[in-house]
Structure 1
Amino acid sequence: MNFVKRAGTSLGARKSKTAALLAIFLVICALLLGGFLLKAAAARQEADAQRTIGVDVTVRKEGLTQALADRLGALGPVHRYNAEVPVRAGAQGLTPLTSQVPEPGGAADGEKANDALAVNGVRDSGMLLPFSYGSTKITAGRGITPADNGRDVAVIEQRLAEKNKLEVGDTVTVRSADGKQTTAVTVVGIFQNPAQDPTLWVAPNELPGNTLYVPVATAQKLGSGTATVREAVLKIGSPDQAKQLHAETEKLLGKGGFDFRVNEKAFKDQVLPIQRVGTFAGLLVWVIALAGALILGLIVMLQIRERRSELGVLLSMGEKKWKLIGQHAVEVAAVALPAVALAALAGSIAGQPAGDAFLGRQDDQPASVARTPEDGIAPPTVRVEAADVGKVAGIALGISLVSTVIPGIGILRLHPRSILTDAE
């Protein structure tokens, strides 16, 4: 009888042991597939985290211009950047907020009016720490984006908007501190700053409610051409790229003429745990593969001992020893393939909840831990792909081969007479 057909007959005759072997293989394949799915989901989430969180590098230099900031933003490791130009400005047809505490000594009304607003020229407001980590939120409209370059738009604080009954789409006029330049800006967003007004008197431009964000070019017009970029914040994917960025920045700005600071706290708080999950998933695959081969090898070894009489009869009938080993390999492989299919089905059902448990953000995270940027890390996406199922099938067949060939070496040393004699 063909040893492949004999393997099928043997599996049908030993239904309970076949079912037990299928259950063991199903657990092994499910854990293997889970490891692959978790590793792939961690890799996708890590890539998204590096894009949205990454590492912020702040470059400061005296006399830093927008042109230099743009060249810094074009350097190799940088995938997003922001330049900030702070100026003071006055309001025309707009009533700034004032301190509720009386001013000691008093000051001229003209001085108050000409610099009552703190205007921050930015290229990308989403990269400002208060916005990126959620302490300051956009409550209406949107923030300043690179697409606003060349446009006169503004994002204003909610308290200032409420006092002047402003909404998204309204236009306000801002005047330079020297009173020589006026610019009409369109309100494209309203934000809420959680900072409370100081309990002591402060100048109007120091009140959190009198803050506006505008594009850099608008701020430079209000600064009468004297405003310079205070700092450029460059976002890179990981701390490993900081050294390369420093070298390229040094070539552009010269040695020792700039301040270069790397802020990797958010990366460590959010990305490193994802990397650890990916590493754990990779180790899990190896451990399961080795443990599965060992467990199945022991099971096959016990089966060979139980079936010594069958082996002796077949050998006495002239059956070749390699075919006996092949029969055991086919039996195990025939159980492995359905187990892979069942594991793929289980992975498609339970994979996403498992990914959420390992990679999902926790709601009870302490406030001291840096939060994700405004877009946030995308939720873990766990999906069963053909490549992952193929890997599991390959490993399962490999385990089948190893778990039958190694114990089957003993079959090569058997002799029909000794087997049948021992079995009596």
Structure 2
Amino acid sequence: MNFVKRAGTSLRARKARTVVLSGIFVVICTLLLGGFLLQAAAARQEADARRTIGVDVTVRGKGLGPAVADRLGRSAPVNRYNPVLPLKAEARGAQPLESDGPKPPGTRTGDRARHFLAVSGVRDSSMLLPFSYGSARITAGRGITPEDSGGQVAVVERRLAERNSLKVGDTVRVRSADHRRTVPLTIVGVFRDPTPDPPRWTPSHELPGNTLYTPVRVAQELGSDAAAVLSEAVFRIGSPEQAERLHAEAERLLGAGTFDFRVNDRAYRDQVRPIQQVGTFAGLIVWVIALAGALILALIVMLQVRERRDELGVLLAMGEKKRKLIGQHLVEVAAVALPAVAVAALAGQLAGQELGDALLDHRQGDVTPGQRQREPVAAGTPRAAVGPPAMDIGPVVLGKVAGIGLGISLVSTAVPGIGILRLHPRSILTHNE
């Protein structure tokens, strides 16, 4: 009889053992599938967290201008960047807010300083600390984006907009401090800064309500120096390991020792590293389950070989080759392993998402996705809104589980196969041990 047919007959004849073996394989394959799904979900969530959180590098220096910041922003490690160019400008056709506190002695009534606004040229307002940390938020319209680099647009504070009845779509004219240039700006957004006005008299450009954000090019146009120096530039990179490459590029452009380079990876450590640990843990689970499963099944097959010595002796006496006897046991184990993969896939489809949600905690922070990218060192780390891990059972994952399952089948029959190779029909039939 063909050894494959013989394996099928053996499985039908030993239904109880077949059911037990099938149950063991289902458990092993389900655990393997869970480990692979968790690994894949951790990798996807880590990539998403890298894009959402990342690591912020703040560069400050006397030679840091908009052109240098753009060159650094185009370097390979950088995903996003935001230069900040602060200046004072005079509002035309709009009345800035004024401090309610008593003016200090010597301050002239009608001092021109009270007509100034605090203008900050930025590339991406969502990367500014007040917006990324969540203390400031857009209440109407939108913020400044990289697509606004060539436009004449502005985002104004709510108090300034309310005093002058400004809304999204209106135009405000801003004149440079030297009165040489006047730029009309279209309001694309209104934001709310919760910082209260100081109780003492403060120049108008230092009042939080007189803040206005524009693209960097507009700030350069309003500035008195074409080669303006940025107060800082913040660069978003994927991981702390990439900071060294960005530092080398900054040294090449600015010169060694001429700039301040600070890496803020606290949010990255708090949220990406735990995801990496879950992925490592899932990989360890796969190895442990594979080794333990091979050992358990090898012991089971070995016991079956001992119990079936008479059968094997008769087959050997009839001239059956030993390799076919080993093949019969391999077919018996493999025939149980393959259906177990299908059952494990069904179990993983039903319970996989709950497993990912339990081990990959995707707690939401107090801000919306994409807002929070930086946090002050002294403050608590704001949590990024990383989406839930997707536990997808694809053909690649099923192929891995099936491959490992068949590998376990091969390993579990290899050790007992050594015992089969040592069997002799005469010793089996004359000595029933």
TM-score when scaled to structure 1?
0.91
Q: What one-letter code is carried by the residue in structure 2 that aligns with 1:370?
A: P
1:414 and 2:426 correspond: no
412-421 or 80-89, which deviates more: 412-421
Paired position in structure 2 for 1:377:
386
User: Matched residues in 2 for 1:40 and 1:158: separation?
Assistant: 45
User: Matched residues in 2 for 1:12 and 1:259: separation?
Assistant: 76
Question: Helix, strand or coil: the match of 1:232?
Answer: strand
TM-aligned CA deviation for residue 144 of structure 1: 0.9
Deviation string, structure 1 residues 376-413 (Cα, Å, up to 9, x no partner):
43432221221121111111100000011112211222
- Change in 2 beyond 3 A, CA 1:276/1:150: same
Paired position in structure 2 for 1:264:
265
User: Matched residues in 2 for 1:3 and 1:236: separation?
Assistant: 60
Paired position in structure 2 for 1:157:
157
Paired position in structure 2 for 1:322:
323
Deviation string, structure 1 residues 198-229 (Cα, Å, up to 9, x no partner):
34443332232222211011112222336432
Paired position in structure 1 for 2:339:
338
- Change in 2 beyond 3 A, CA 1:138/1:306: farther
Question: Helix, strand or coil: the match of 1:269?
Answer: helix
Q: What one-letter code is carried by the residue in structure 1 that aligns with 2:298?
A: G
Question: Helix, strand or coil: the match of 1:390?
Answer: helix
User: Matched residues in 1 for 2:390 and 2:218: separation?
Assistant: 41
Paired position in structure 2 for 1:211:
211
Gaps of 5+ in 1: none
Work out which of the residue numbers 393, 405, 409 in structure 2 matches 1:400.
Answer: 409
165-174 or 18-27, which deviates more: 165-174
Question: Helix, strand or coil: the match of 2:121?
Answer: strand
Counting aligned pairs with the same residue, the percent is 67
Paired position in structure 1 for 2:43:
43
- Change in 2 beyond 3 A, CA 1:119/1:407: same
Deviation string, structure 1 residues 228-248 (Cα, Å, up to 9, x no partner):
322222222211111122122
Deviation string, structure 1 residues 16-47 (Cα, Å, up to 9, x no partner):
22122112111211221222222122222222
- Change in 2 beyond 3 A, CA 1:415/1:77: same
User: Matched residues in 1 for 2:362 and 2:313: separation?
Assistant: 60
User: Matched residues in 2 for 1:25 and 1:162: separation?
Assistant: 70
User: Matched residues in 1 for 2:174 and 2:4: separation?
Assistant: 87
Q: What one-letter code is carried by the residue in structure 2 that aligns with 1:368?
A: G
Question: Helix, strand or coil: the match of 1:322?
Answer: helix
- Change in 2 beyond 3 A, CA 1:25/1:135: farther
Question: Helix, strand or coil: the match of 2:391?
Answer: coil
TM-score when scaled to structure 2?
0.89
1:241 and 2:250 correspond: no
TM-aligned CA deviation for residue 287 of structure 1: 1.1
Gaps of 5+ in 2: 367-378
Paired position in structure 1 for 2:181:
181
Q: What one-letter code is carried by the residue in structure 2 that aligns with 1:121?
A: G
Q: What one-letter code is carried by the residue in structure 2 that aligns with 1:412?
A: L
Paired position in structure 1 for 2:84:
84
247-256 or 225-234, which deviates more: 225-234
Q: Give the length in aligned residue pairs.
A: 419
TM-aligned CA deviation for residue 64 of structure 1: 2.4
Q: Aligned ranges for residues 345-364 of structure 1 at < 5 Å?
A: 345-363=346-364
Q: Is the 8 A contact 2:63 2:254 kept in 1?
A: no
- Change in 2 beyond 3 A, CA 1:353/1:168: farther
- Change in 2 beyond 3 A, CA 1:66/1:305: same
